[in-house]
Structure 1
Amino acid sequence: MKRLIAYFVSGVRTGSFFYLALLLLGQLFPQLIYPKVSVGNILALFMMSGLMGMLSWILEELDRMSYRLRVILHFLLTAIVLTLTCLLSGWYEALTNPAIWIVFISVYSIIWLYLIWQMHMRTQRINQALLHRRSQKKKEK
C-alpha cells in the first residue's frame, strides 16, 4: 500500500509539471487547446496523474510478463485513464481533437526518455561502486 501511495504521489508530481507546462504553452500559443484552470479540472488532473503514476507499478513490479508486454499494457492503460478522465470531466471535445493525443504521446515519450536516462545513470553509479569495491579488495590482498 505504501508503494502504491508513492507511485500515486510521483504521478501527481509529474502530471502537475506537465499541466503547468501546458498552461505555459497555452499562454505562448493561444491557438492551442489546454485544460482551463478550475478546481474541478485541477482535481481531475491530480486524480488522472496519480492513477497514471500507480500504473508504473506494472513496469517495475510485474516481473511475470516480458518487458515489452508490460510497456504496451502500461501505454494502453494510461490511454484508457486519459479517456475516462476526459469522459468523466466532460472534456468530450478533447477526445476528438488530435492535439490531445499528440500531446499524450509526446509527454509519454518524454517521460520514457527521462526514465531511460535515469536507469543509465543508476547503472553507471552501481558499476562505479562495484569497480571501487573491487579495487579496495585488491589493495587489501
Structure 2
Amino acid sequence: MKKILQYACIGIGYGSFFYLMILLYRQGITPTRESILATLFMSALIGISAILFDIEKLNFLSALIIHFICTLSLAIGIMFYNEWADDIMHDIEFWLIFIIIYVSVWAISCISNSLRVGKINRALSKKRAKKGA
C-alpha cells in the first residue's frame, strides 16, 4: 500500500507540473475545481501504473507499451471529461503535446533515478571506506 501511495504522489507531482504548463501555453482552458481534481486523479493513476516497471515477469518494452497505452487512455479520458477534446484523434497539437510530456517525464525520471543511485553509491563507498580503515 505504501508503494502505491508513493507512486500516486509522484504521478500527482508530474501531472500537476504539466497541467500548469499546459494552462500556461494553451489559451482558452479555464481551470475549474472539477478539471483540477480530475487531472490530479488521472495523474495519480498514471503514477500508479508505473508499478508495471517493477513486475519482474514483464520485460521493459512490454511494460513501456502497456504504460504508454494506459497513460494515453487516461489522458484522452480526462480530455473528454474536461470537455477539452473536439476531434482529439486528428488533433496534431494534442499528439505532439502528449508525446513531449511523456518523453519529458521519462527523461526527468531517468535523471532523478540516476542521481538517487549515484547518491546511494557514494554513501555505500564512504561506509565501505570507514569499515576498511
TM-score scaled to structure 1, two decimals? Answer: 0.80
Corresponding residue number in structure 2 for 1:53? 47
Shift of 1:134: 2.6
In 1, Cα distance between equivalents of 2:56 and 2:91: 36
AA of the residue aligned to 2:13: R
In 2, Cα distance between equivalents of 1:78 and 1:35: 21
Give the structure with higher Rg (CA).
1
AA of the residue aligned to 2:15: G
AA of the residue aligned to 1:120: S
Deviations 1:71-124 (A, max 9, x none): 121111111111222234433316132111111111111111111111211221
> For 1:88-103, what aligned pairs fall within 5 Å after superposition?
88-93=81-86, 95=88, 96-103=90-97
Structure 1 moving runs of 4+ over 4 Å: none
Corresponding residue number in structure 1 for 2:105? 111
Query: Which of 15, 36, 45 is matched with 1:42 structurally?
Result: 36
Percent identity for Structure 1 against Structure 2: 27
Deviations 1:16-74 (A, max 9, x none): 11111122223xxx4xxx63222222222122112111111112x21211122211211
Q: CA RMSD in A?
A: 2.0
In 2, Cα distance between equivalents of 1:119 and 1:135: 24
In 1, Cα distance between equivalents of 2:124 and 2:9: 32
List alignment gaps of at least 5 residues for structure 1.
none
Corresponding residue number in structure 1 for 2:18? 18
Alignment pair present for 1:70 and 2:60: no
Count of residues in Structure 1 that have an aligned counterpart in Structure 2: 132
Give the SS at the match of 1:93.
coil
